Amino acid sequence: MYLFDEDMLVSPQTPTLFAAVVSGNWSINGIPNGGYLMALLTHAMLQKADKKSTPIVTGNFFSRCTPGEASVSVEKIAGSNQFERFQARLFQEGKERIRAIGTFAQEKLECFLRKYEAVPPDIAPVNECIQVPELPAYSLMSQVDIRLDPRCAGWMSGNLSEKSQQMGWIAFKDGRPFDALSILLAADAFPPAVMASQGFLSWVPTIEFSVNLREPPSPGWLRCVFRSRFITCGMLEEDGEVWDEAGELVAISRQIAQFRKA
């Protein structure tokens, strides 16, 4: 079993409550990554769902999680012939830390129209991109291999860009293939886009995060782009696209976050 799958395990305690352990293996500066936490909540919801395709998951982050024991409650809130909707809530030390809504479609939902009005981002080949280094307390970077396009990587050496944009490739270092749960992680694993223009001293805590998975990816690296266009009143948005090596759109994301100077 891959490490990510071990860290996704949840144990049913009652028909609506699961025991879980928030792992420290997917942390940024010691804080568990939001995409990893969304994947954990989604995994719990999938234990109760009959429909499991093309999930849409939106999480609201109320307070900081820490590595350690947690409980996850799951409630079905709506259902139809095509969709099921669940609510999942993660608790630590008796306090609700995250609440997520998951929408899951039937497996054979017909894709009667495929029309892209955008193309995959133009990213340098993997071997020409710059690897995000492993850092103390940044355990996430020990598990995933992120390669930034050189045009977006100047901030790591103090050369800032006019655009708040990160583009590059991502893969698991242990070779695990991507699936629905791990794409949630990939959609939040890159350094925040705002760091490209504002530098490494930015702190960008997530308030709300939404991911819509469209297609299972082909094997290999995922090609990603994340952009922030508006930074006002201490808030920003980050819009993401995740594509596979075959040029198919895998997922889209939007994150609302605070912008602070560390």
Give the residue ranges of DSSP H helices in the chain. Answer: 3-6, 34-46, 140-143, 180-186, 195-198
pLDDT confidence of residue 109:
59
- Name the phi and psi angles at 37, rounded to 5: -65, -40
pLDDT in tens, the chain (262 residues): 999 999 999 999 999 999 999 999 999 999 999 999 999 999 999 999 998 888 899 999 999 999 999 999 999 999 888 899 999 999 999 999 999 999 998 876 566 777 888 999 999 999 999 999 998 889 999 999 999 999 999 999 999 999 999 999 999 999 999 999 999 999 999 999 999 999 887 678 999 999 999 988 999 999 999 999 999 999 999 999 999 999 999 999 999 999 987 6
DSSP letters spanning 66-125:
-SEEEEEEEEEEEE-SSEEEEEEEEEETTEEEEEEEEEEE-TT--------SS-------
Residues linked to residue 89 through DSSP beta bridges, in sequence order: 73, 99
The structure tokens listed for 80 are 């139809």
Sign of CA dihedral 158, 237, 162, 119: positive
Domains of the chain (ranges; CATH) run: 3-105 (2.40.160.210), 126-261 (2.40.160.210)
Kindly report the CA angle at 258 between 257 and 259, in degrees rounded to 5?
Answer: 120
The rounded distance, in Å, linking the Cα atoms of 105 and 81 is: 9
The rounded distance, in Å, linking the Cα atoms of 179 and 37 is: 16
Burial letters 226-237, b for 16+ CB under 10 A, else e: bbbeebeeeebe
Nearest to 78 by CA among 54, 97, 105: 105
The rounded distance, in Å, linking the Cα atoms of 164 and 178 is: 26
24, 183, 195, 262 from 154: Cα distances, Å:
29, 26, 10, 19
Are the beta carbons of 86 and 133 closer than 8 angstroms?
Answer: no
Are the beta carbons of 224 and 240 closer than 8 angstroms?
Answer: yes
